[in-house]
Chains A and B, each alone.
Chain A
Amino acid sequence: MPVDIEARVISNTRLSPDYNVITLAAPEIGEATTPGQFVMVKPGRGGDPLLRRPFSVFEVLRDNGRVTGITLLSKRVGITTSMLFDAVEGDTVSCLGPLGRPFELVDPPTEAWMVAGGVGLAPFATLGEALVARGTKTTLFYGARSGKELFYLDWFASRGIELKLSTEDGTNGDKGRITLPLERELQRLGSADVMVYACGPEPMLEAVAHVAERYGKPSQVSVERVMGCGMGGCYSCVIPVKDEGGGQHYVRSCIGGPVFKGADLVWD
Chain B
Amino acid sequence: MDLTTRIGSLELRNPLMAASGCFGYGVEYADAVDLTTIGAVVSKGLFLKERSGHPPQRIVETPSGMLNAIGLQGIGVHRYIKEKLPELRRLGATNIINICGSTLDEYVELARILSDAEGVHALEINISCPNIKEGGITFGCSLHGTFDVVSAIKKVTHLPVIPKLTPNVTDVASIAKSAEDAGADAVSLVNTFLAMAIDVETRRPKLSNIVGGLSGPAIRPIAVRMVYECRRALKIPVIGMGGIANATDVLEFMIAGATAVQVGTANFVDPFIWSKLLDGMRDYMTRHSIARIADVVGTVDTSAREKQWISS
Contact = CB atoms under 8 A, between A and B. Distances in A.
A238 B58 contact: yes
B60 interface: yes
Contacts of B59: 226, 228, 234, 236
B268 A226 contact: no
A135 interface: no
A226 B58 contact: yes
| Interface residue SS majority, chain B | loop
Interface stretch (A21-29, A44-52, A114-122): A44-52
Contact of A235 (B29, B70, B216, B271): B70
A233 to B, nearest CB: 5
A69 B32 CA distance: 22
B53 A51 contact: no
Given A50-B216, A231-B32, A236-B68, A42 B269 contact: yes
Nearest to A234: B268
B73 A250 contact: yes
A54 B23 CA distance: 18
A250 B53 contact: yes
B217 interface: yes
B58 A249 contact: no
A255 interface: yes
B179 to A, nearest CB: 27
Contacts of A42: 269
B31 interface: yes
Contacts of B22: 233-234
Contact of A50 (B24, B269, B271): B269
Contact of A226 (B44, B57, B64, B267): B57
Contacts of A234: 21-22, 59, 68, 70, 268
Interface in B21-56: 21-24, 28-29, 31-32, 44, 52-53, 55-56
Interface string A152-184: 000000000000000000000000000000000
Contacts of A132: none
